[in-house]
A and B are shown apart, each in its own frame.
Chain A
């Protein structure tokens, strides 16, 4: 991932870390500190199996966070991802019920997400509605559609194949013991984690090595300057929102597949987790700043916190408080440093 970091491409190592890499360093340190602290608290925390569990749990926030990062860098925000995630899952579920095989059905789900993002982009650029309002509208529309299409009831009995994406894993090693339950030597790398890794590499490549990525940064940094320089600002924004929608669709399929059931009311408030991940990772809501590796660190800080606090028996309510405090602290540290 480090190969994709901005600036490192040309200069190599410099002793004066840029503000972005400084923020990332402090976030990484926080993550290491959390892992260290939780490892002391509980012997079961720092194990391969728990690591894989965290990876699995974080993959959904991670996927949403990637799309959110693209949108935030353009200077926008996407509040609809939680609802779009549900709608995409519902479309996949309905397609399977209608007799479509699992793989194309999932593609339909992802496309549904992309279409929602495309609509967001059009409303924002052509109707000139602020991203906050436009995606708030989409958040309600997508959730309403998901509930209406299913009658607010979960869709179950979707078959084993549907559960493979969320529950399967690569390099799973199982020893037959002769008993009822086989002994699991290595739980394997969960497919969602592999999917996340692929998405991370793809998005980082897009942002740092492609013209459209450069234009995403330019649009968020100074929209007027980008327009005067010949950047197709509207198209760049629509592209970012469409990708965010598609990532939400992907995350929806991963999440529903893990449950092997489609839940139309799943994913409520997930957009806030995704925004928190991006912000902890150094993205600026003013636009122009942010990167994928930072967002991943942010997502894993949230994931590790949840997991560690769960294992320590801390209630879900307290967890929310802690994550809220961390978000504010992350932004505060960034501001204090910038003021100097």
Chain B
């Protein structure tokens, strides 16, 4: 298994994000219950858990799409009050949603720049420049991307995913939330996303990766955070746990009884 070397520098640098005691209730249901989480530059944190464990909810809170009932969020050490997705994006928090959040009737450039349209001197939409920029950024992700002028509803799942990814990384991203980015993708496109994550990590971007695929998690993540019934049941260095340990956390909400950190166990 190719293990990403956890750079020592990561831990000494101040954290990009600190979420402290986040709570979110819907009526009587506690979707997120006192969860604390942090993220360092150049770190990929896998956020795991059952459907309904609260991981998407937590990520939506960080992306500004949902407002928590309790808790504080610090970005680069400063307390922020994320009220809108726009606000989160201004802080360099970009999100790739599971649903992709694309406007189906608009074409690729319009989607890529949605909410942040490029304008000419007179305040008109600069479609020509948005198109050239789109071509440039999409070329990097998928060289055979054509039909940029078609509404995105007519594109394949992979192409749509590429647009959603391009939208997240185009605008000076610092913190990237990826909600199941490979769910709709074929093998080669999944590999492309993996390469992209590795490259972004090298650039010092912190990534939350919500993912169900254990192989991808162990391939890409530096650390895993497991949620169960709205609480965080474990945050472990990927080197310390096995797939079985992680599955136990996801399913039972606890580590196996005889668990010892994998690597440290070997060292003894």
A residues with CB within 8 A of B: 7, 9-11, 14, 18, 208-211, 213-215, 217-218, 220-222, 224-231, 288-289
Contacts and interface: CB of A to CB of B under 8 A. Distances in A.
Given A211-B125, A230-B115, A221 B107 contact: no
A283 to B, nearest CB: 12
Interface string B177-211: 00000000000000000000000000000000000
B175 to A, nearest CB: 16
A224 B123 contact: no
Interface string B42-75: 0000000000000000000001010000000000
Nearest to A289: B105
B219 interface: no
A228 B65 contact: yes
Contact of A214 (B85, B101, B117, B128): B117
Contacts of A11: 149
A231 B101 CA distance: 12
Nearest to B120: A209
Contacts of A9: 127-128
A224 B131 CA distance: 24
B216 to A, nearest CB: 24
Contact of A230 (B86, B100, B102, B103): B86
A339 to B, nearest CB: 14
Contact of B106 (A14, A218, A227): A218
Contacts of A221: 103-106
B97 interface: yes
**Chain A contact residues: helix, strand, loop or mixed:** helix
Contacts of A214: 106, 110, 114, 117, 125
Contacts of A225: 99-103, 114
Contacts of A227: 65, 85
Interface of B: 63, 65, 84-86, 89, 95, 97, 99-107, 110, 114-117, 119, 123-125, 127-128, 131, 149-151, 167
Given A230-B85, A230-B86, A211 B101 contact: no
Contacts of A230: 84-86, 89, 114-116
Given A10-B131, A230-B115, A210 B124 contact: yes
A9 B86 CA distance: 28
B245 to A, nearest CB: 34
A230 B167 CA distance: 12
Going nearest first, the 10 A-B pairs with the smallest beta carbon separation are: A230-B115, A230-B86, A288-B105, A221-B103, A225-B101, A229-B115, A221-B105, A229-B114, A218-B103, A209-B124
Contacts of B128: 9-10
Contacts of B131: 10
A334 to B, nearest CB: 14
A226 B114 contact: yes
B228 to A, nearest CB: 27
Given A211-B117, A220-B105, 16 more contacts: A10-B128, A10-B131, A209-B125, A211-B125, A214-B110, A214-B117, A214-B125, A221-B103, A224-B99, A224-B101, A225-B102, A226-B103, A226-B114, A229-B115, A288-B104, A289-B105
Contacts of B100: 225
B86 A222 contact: no
Contacts of B150: 18
Nearest to A7: B149
B118 to A, nearest CB: 10
Contact of A229 (B101, B107, B123, B149): B101
A278 to B, nearest CB: 16
Given A227-B85, A228-B97, A210 B103 contact: no
A11 B127 CA distance: 11
Contacts of A217: 103, 105-106, 110
A14 B110 CA distance: 19
Nearest to A227: B85
A215 B86 CA distance: 14
A329 B102 CA distance: 31
Contacts of A215: 115
Given A10-B127, A231-B115, A222 B84 contact: no
Contacts of A222: 101-104
B86 A210 contact: no
A12 B131 CA distance: 14
Contacts of B114: 214, 218, 225-226, 229-231
Given A10-B128, A11-B149, A210-B123, A228 B95 contact: yes
A288 B149 contact: no
B42 to A, nearest CB: 26
29 contacts: A9-B127, A10-B131, A18-B150, A18-B151, A210-B123, A211-B125, A214-B114, A214-B125, A217-B106, A218-B103, A221-B104, A222-B101, A222-B104, A224-B99, A224-B101, A225-B99, A225-B100, A225-B103, A225-B114, A226-B103, A226-B114, A229-B85, A229-B103, A229-B115, A229-B167, A230-B84, A230-B85, A230-B86, A231-B114
Given A211-B119, A225-B102, A229-B115, A10 B84 contact: no
Nearest to A290: B105
Nearest to A284: B105
A214 B99 CA distance: 21
A225 B111 CA distance: 10
Contacts of A14: 149
Contacts of B84: 230
A22 to B, nearest CB: 13
